[in-house]
Structure 1
Amino acid sequence: MKNYIVSIPNSIINSQAFIQIQQINEETLEYGLKLLEKDIKTIIETRDEILVSSGRVEFGGGIITKIISNFCDSPYILQDNYVETINDLIETFYYYKNETMEEISDDELIELMKEYFDNRCQGDLELLRYKYLDKIAHNIKYGVSDYLNVNGDEE
């Protein structure tokens, strides 16, 4: 049996991601948020760097568009901090995707991030990462059945 490695040029993947992100602008305009062409390129470059550093692979812009779509209505994201926040959320997503050992689906992780970001963290990414997501990852690694218990009451 032969092993075949399929190689898809990064430019094709990034072109697809670019189009997907550009299309999400229609949804985000309702919240006063718009990504310019240079912003989209920056986000894709950030995603590519994060994928390499985290040893992950992604085809298209699926995670980026899910994050944008879920977070665009946050009261803590404004046009002035939009690109930086999306980049930070993408980095946070991939880091905790690894840290939770794939035990949480992409959608669940994004939903948890959004819930904590908007409510308990009030837009503070450091608090999101180092208090809540770290605790969830810790709980998963150590087999705590209620891994969402972030209050420190271990079983």
Structure 2
Amino acid sequence: MDKFISRLPALAGEQKGEIVDCNDKTQAYHLALSEKDAEMLIATKNEVLRKNSRVEFGGSVISKLILGFYDSPYISQHNYVETIDDLIETFYYYKNETLDEISDDDLIQLMRELFDKRCYGSIELLQNRELGRISHNVKYGIWDFDKVQALEPGEEDEDYE
């Protein structure tokens, strides 16, 4: 255990480097994260893991989220750090809510599709409407859990209020 604990600062440094390295791709979209931003995102991830009683081994989900979302038309440098921060919280919460039935990569892909096509960049709609429906479907064994019915504009869904 002591050997693992002594390795934690090195792991955080590796994660920070991995996050900052994403700038190579994201700069084409005028997006960049500083080392301070990376540290804040890692702190968010660690807090969310603790709150959701989760442990992460291996690769960083943060980098996967960055690379999964950086070219969204709803992300700009102005909201970049905040959006990635919110996506980290959303990701881990819904990993629990979907009972780990959806792989990390599939959940990120699904989040991105919903974020762009149904939520038009709204984290609140992603969290409270779309992913809520998907987690409901997963919990109740609906095989096509990602085939949520889209509502028409102005239409309310009584089942999910």
- TM-score, normalized by length of structure 2? 0.87
Partner of 1:16: 14
Matched, 1:121 2:119: yes
Give 1:148 shift: 1.2
Partner amino acid, structure 2, of 1:66: K
Q: Distance in 2 between matches of 1:63 and 1:21?
A: 10
Q: Quote how far apart the aligned CAs of 1:65 are.
A: 0.4
**Contiguous gaps of at least 5 residues in structure 2:** 151-161
> Does structure 2 conserve the Cα–Cα contact (< 8 Å) formed by 1:33 and 1:78?
yes
Cα distance in structure 1, aligned partners of 2:66 and 2:36: 16
What TM-score comes out, normalization by structure 1 length?
Answer: 0.90
CA distance in 1, matches of 2:3, 2:54: 16
What does the per-residue CA deviation read over 1:78-100, in whole Å, with 9 as the maximum and x for residues that have no partner? 10111110000010000000100
Identity %: 51
Query: What SS does the aligned partner of 1:79 have?
Result: coil
Aligned to 1:150: 148
Tell me the C-alpha RMSD between the 2 structures: 1.7
Please list every run of 5 or more consecutive structure 1 residues that lacks an aligned counterpart in the other structure: none
Distance 1:89 1:39 in 2: 14
Q: Number of matched residues?
A: 149
Question: In the alignment, which of 103, 106, 110 is matched to residue 105 of structure 1?
Answer: 103
Separation (CA, whole Å) in 1 of partners of 2:61 and 2:122: 21
Structure 1 residues 6, 133: CA separation in 2 closer, same or farther (over 3 Å shift)?
farther
Does structure 2 retain, via aligned residues, the 8 Å contact 1:14–1:60?
no
Q: What's the counterpart of residue 141 of structure 1?
A: 139
Q: Could you tell me how far 1:60 is from its partner in structure 2?
A: 5.6
Runs of 4+ in 1 over 6 A off after TM superposition: none
